[in-house]
């Protein structure tokens, strides 16, 4: 069955601070015509500050994916791209008035809830599926990570997340067209290890991070003083560690929520291939650098056709 292209029925606006920069931004996601694809516009930089959501515009993958074209950049694009992909949106204009997409609760939940409530508009034009002439495989010898994208009649994606963590263990997650993205993937939040937080703060990252938008994994023993220091950094009182090895700021949606979030990120990053992949994707220890390199490889291969 041939699917048609879809866009949003109406515009939706989201606002909040960015995870890494801590800057406040307002972002409006609007309908766009058939064939438009997904494009960002930095409204604070003018009407022409447009950045297509394509892999050749990736400028950074330091803990998130940043796109840049000319003087315009937009950081942490993976969650909104994942939401649009998972909900079946082909065309959208994303207007934002600052450098980083709002982190909200650390997942794609608020996007998918809004898009589901409004419904989508069938644009009456066939969706162009990206069909590869051969498999693409990207490896990182240093980490042992890899992604393989193989031509397939039915799209699917399966990931294995392994952080060598006693708390997380090895987690798997998968997606097919039958998966309820909104309920099973879109609600899964980003995560961070407790021992990484100080380093990230000192290196100018997660300035907008707090326990309202991230799962915090406590891999190693910590003192009450360390927890108190973190509470001060993020202005949250009375944190503690659960028996399962997480901060008690939230309850997990799924035992493998962190693995599912890695799948959420992968679906968003792979959207930078330029559309929907007619492929089976298998990934081991995926991350933004590996994901976006895979999207670049897909685009390079398709240009050779």
Query: Tens-of-pLDDT digits for all 305 residues of the chain?
Result: 569 999 999 999 999 999 878 899 999 999 999 999 999 999 999 999 999 999 999 999 988 999 999 999 999 999 999 999 999 999 999 999 999 999 999 999 999 999 999 999 999 999 989 999 999 999 999 999 999 999 998 999 999 999 999 999 999 999 999 999 999 999 999 998 888 876 666 566 555 555 667 888 999 888 888 887 777 766 666 688 888 898 887 889 999 999 999 999 999 999 999 999 999 999 999 999 999 999 999 999 999 86
Taking alpha carbons only, the member of 82, 105, 104, 81 closest to residue 179 is 82
Strand order through the sheet with 24-31: 12-17, 24-31, 92-96, 38-42, 50-52
- State the catalytic residues: 288
CATH number of the structural domain 4-127:
3.30.230.20
Whether 195 and 219 have beta carbons less than 8 Å apart is answered as yes
pTM of the model: 0.93
């Amino acid at each position: 069955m041939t699917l048609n292209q879809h866009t949003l029925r109406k515009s939706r606006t989201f606002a909040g601070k960015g995870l890494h920069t801590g800057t406040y931004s307002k972002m409006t996601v609007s309908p766009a015509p058939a064939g438009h694809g997904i494009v960002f516009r930095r409204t604070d930089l003018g009407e022409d500050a447009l950045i297509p959501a394509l892999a050749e515009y990736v400028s950074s993958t330091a803990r998130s994916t940043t796109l840049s074209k000319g003087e315009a950049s937009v950081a942490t694009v993976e969650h909104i791209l994942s939401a649009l992909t998972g909900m079946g949106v082909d065309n959208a204009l994303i207007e934002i008035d600052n450098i980083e997409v709002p982190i909200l609760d650390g997942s794609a939940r608020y996007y998918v809830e809004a898009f589901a409530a409004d419904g989508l508009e069938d644009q009456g034009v066939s969706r162009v599926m990206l069909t590869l002439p051969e498999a693409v495989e990207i490896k990182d010898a240093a980490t042992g990570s890899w992604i393989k994208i193989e031509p397939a009649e039915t799209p699917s994606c399966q990931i294995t997340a392994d952080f060598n963590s006693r708390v997380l263990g090895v987690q798997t997650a998968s997606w097919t067209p039958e998966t309820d993205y909104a309920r099973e993937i879109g609600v899964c939040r980003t995560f961070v290890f407790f021992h990484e937080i100080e380093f990230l703060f000192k290196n100018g990252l997660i300035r907008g991070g707090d326990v309202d938008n991230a799962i915090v994994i406590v891999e190693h023993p910590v003192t009450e003083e360390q927890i108190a220091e973190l509470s001060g950094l993020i202005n949250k009182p009375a944190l503690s560690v659960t028996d399962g090895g997480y901060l008690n700021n939230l309850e997990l949606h799924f035992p493998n929520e962190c693995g599912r979030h890695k799948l959420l990120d992968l679906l968003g990053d792979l959207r930078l291939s330029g559309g929907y992949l007619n492929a089976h994707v298998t990934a081991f220890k995926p991350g933004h650098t590996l994901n976006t390199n895979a999207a670049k490889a897909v685009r390079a291969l398709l240009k050779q056709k």
